[in-house]
Amino acid sequence: MKKSILTAFFAALAFCGFSQEKEAEAPKFSFSGYIDSYYMLNFNNPSSRSNLGSSGYERAFDQKSNQFSLGLVQTKFGYATKNADVVVDLTFGPNADLGQYGNLVGPLGKGSTSLAIKQAYFNWKASDKLTFTMGQFGTHIGYEVIDAPVNYNYSLSNLFNNGPFYHIGAKANYSFSDKFSAMVGLVNNVDNLNDNNASKGFIYQVFTSPAAGWNVYVNGISSNESAPLASGKDDTGSYNLLDLTTSYQITPKYLVGLNAAYGSQTGDFQGGGSVGDSKTWGGVALYSNYAFTDNFSLGGRYEVFDNTSGARALRAADGSGTDVNSFTLTGTFTAADGHLLIKPELRTDSYKTEQFVDGDGKGQSSQTTLAMHFIYKF
């Protein structure tokens, strides 16, 4: 009798252990997201109630002034196993159009629900060091991201606004150690649902951490963005962008960062000029963020962006190139158990050309805005 009881007891233990092991290996689902809105004052008091100037690219997402505005609504779904995971990242609202503009026209020539796809990709962990990714994913280039809760500043830099937003393709990342890794990949092109030619873009990234709290990323892309010529062959135009992103946690409360980028392009695409023309753009942004308490931090950004050759869409009223100096100061108050972020923000943009028209119809080379942003994340 005792032997039967002991046998049953150990069998039960083995079953429980097996069940716990199976439960630990069970796929995991996740759901997260956020919603953001803002009210902004523009001290130029433009009659258009817009922060956009002559080119229409003076600001990325916070384009409305002197009114309440909806920013972005995000819903992110995840499915993860031991060796793979899937991410479906959907966005809605006016900023979804701006961030995924390449998805605007569907195969039938009408608006497409793919407009709301910010990311849709899977990762396969071939080993502890090697991971393959395929699908639509956010760009690896730049210091900032589309997701408002992640950035210290709410308004996005000119480097972000004039750089890639997303890619569709495949990439592989190899972690040599926890302090050094490299990524390479092939993508259709830059910010477009469908490739506009037979060529593929090459993307790459090298990450290193020289010291504790110091991260360095060297990012790049080289791609032919030109449309095919009448002969059916691709134009010889090129698009090249080299980007440096680094941050250093000086103390547990104080972080500094830097983003520098230099790009060049030739060929007739994205307003880049005629075949054979070569134009460049670039800039540097410095970041500083100090956490005064667990519920309040202050972040500053100073940026210089140069597009005097007219390579990108940020231009003067006559279509020529321009450059801009920008300063942004953003406070972040955290409430509702960390779910609510309240961000008052002051930003000034100073151009070498008259980019704006004030409420009296006079041209202005600078613009100052003051806004209150509300972000609820879940």
Structure tokens at 196: 């506009």
Of residues 250 and 10, the one with the higher pLDDT is 250
pLDDT surpasses 60 at 5: no
* The total number of structural domains that make up the chain: 1
Q: What is the pLDDT of residues 7-45, one digit of tens each?
A: 443 454 444 444 444 455 688 999 999 999 999 999 999
Instruction: Report pLDDT for 226.
Output: 75
Q: Domain span at residue 172? A: 26-377
Tell me whether residue 16 is in a domain: no
Beta carbons within 10 angstroms of residue 299's beta carbon: 22
Tell me whether residue 137 is in a domain: yes
Residue 280 pLDDT grade (very low, low, confident, very high; cuts 50, 70, 90): very high
Instruction: Report pLDDT for 274.
Output: 44
Distances (CA, A) of 186 to 70, 194, 369: 35, 14, 40
Nearest to 284 by CA among 297, 272, 302: 302
Using DSSP's 3-state secondary structure scheme, residue 68 falls into strand
- Region 242-262: mean pLDDT is 98
Tell me whether residue 181 is in a domain: yes
Average pLDDT of the chain to the nearest whole number? 87
Distances (CA, A) of 194 to 11, 103, 136, 169, 188: 57, 8, 11, 11, 7
Helices (H), 191-262: none
Q: DSSP strand E in the chain: where? A: 28-42, 67-80, 84-92, 117-125, 130-138, 166-177, 180-187, 201-211, 214-223, 238-249, 254-266, 278-293, 296-307, 322-335, 340-351, 356-357, 363-364, 366-377
Tell me whether residue 64 is in a domain: yes
- Region 283-311: mean pLDDT is 97
Instruction: Report pLDDT for 191.
Output: 81
Q: What does residue 108 show for φ and ψ, rounded to 5 degrees?
A: -95, 5
150: domain CATH number is 2.40.160.10
Q: How far is it, in rounded angstroms, from Cα 310 to Cα 321?
A: 4
Tell me whether residue 195 is in a domain: yes
Nearest to 343 by CA among 32, 60, 37: 37
Tell me whether residue 283 is in a domain: yes
For 261, how many CA atoms within 13 A lie in the half-sphere containing its CB? 32
Q: What does residue 6 show for φ and ψ, rounded to 5 degrees?
A: -65, -40
Instruction: Report pLDDT for 105.
Output: 55
Tell me whether residue 20 is in a domain: no
Tell me whether residue 19 is in a domain: no
